[in-house]
Amino acid sequence: MYTIPLLPNSFKKPGFIIIAFGLAAWLLTGLDGNNYPWLNIRVLSLFNKTNDPDTHFASIIQNNVLDELISMALIAGAVFVGFSKEKNENEFTMAIRCSSMFWAVLVYYTVQFISIGLLYDYAFFKLVFYNLFTILFIYITRFYYLVYKSTKAMHNGK
Amino acid sequence: MENNIRVQRAIKKISQDELAIALGMSRQAIHAIETKKYIPSALAALRIAHYFGKTMEEVFSLEEEEKKFAAPLS
């Protein structure tokens, strides 16, 4: 049977916990790092648009890492949840995964396509940031919805 | 694609659960195949047929509509 490499099932629970922490931190802080000056640290920046050409590539800059930490937590958590094996992973769950990923990618690019034509400057940047989570969010939501639906249909004998 | 897995199960007196365990699949998958909501891969279909001691054609068959697109080469 065709399968793709997935994380062990044990990653699922930590994934949900990380997502919960990430969402709680997002709601509590609003991604505003100004209230958390201790998160202003020196970080490696691969590319940074400044007036000084020497600091364009691979330079050390000062940055508040609150939004980076929350975003990375949400992505890591969602990857753990979405790409860890079900207890009984088989070709049927794989087919559900493919279908869910198809819709997730379709929605992601539809949103991206529309926003390219209708949003500009900071609003566009904001949308690109939020759209980061679209693929994983829709993929996970649809995958678990279809698993739930097939389980329900099985119990109802439909 | 039609199938008579339910009949084969009844003959062998096994549940969806038992068949799923024997084939390393989930009960949801067996149910989805039986109710034609999911078409199994050729490998899974062969394994199901093999489990019942049948050929694939004895367990799975094309529906009339599908036969239109599967005319044998002349």
Tens digits of residue pLDDT in B21-63: 999 899 999 999 999 999 999 999 999 999 999 999 999 998 8
What is the residue-wise DSSP string for B17-70?
HHHHHHHT--HHHHHHHHTTSSPPPHHHHHHHHHHTT--HHHHEE--HHHHTT-
> A-side interface with B, Cβ within 8 Å?
1-2, 86, 88, 90-93, 95, 147, 150-151, 153-154, 158
Low-confidence ranges of chain A (pLDDT < 70): 1-2, 50-55, 158
pLDDT band at residue B64 under the 50/70/90 scheme: confident
Residues 44-63 (B) with a CB less than 8 A from some CB of A: 44
* More confidently predicted of A56 and B9: B9
CA distance A24 to A17: 11
Say whether pTM exceeds 0.95: no
pLDDT band at residue B74 under the 50/70/90 scheme: low
pLDDT of residue A73: 97
Please give the backbone phi and psi of residue A57, each rounded to the nearest 5 degrees, phi first.
-115, 140
Distance between first and last Cα of chain A: 26
Shortest CA gap B1–chain A (Å): 16
User: Residue B55 half-sphere exposure, CB side, CA atoms within 13 Å?
Assistant: 3
B15 vs A: CB within 8 A: no
pLDDT of residue A114: 96
Shortest CA gap B25–chain A (Å): 6
pLDDT of residue A60: 85
Asked if this assembly's ipTM is beyond 0.95, the reply is: no
B26, B27, B34, best to mutate vs chain A, most A CBs in 10 Å: B26
CA distance B28 to B34: 10
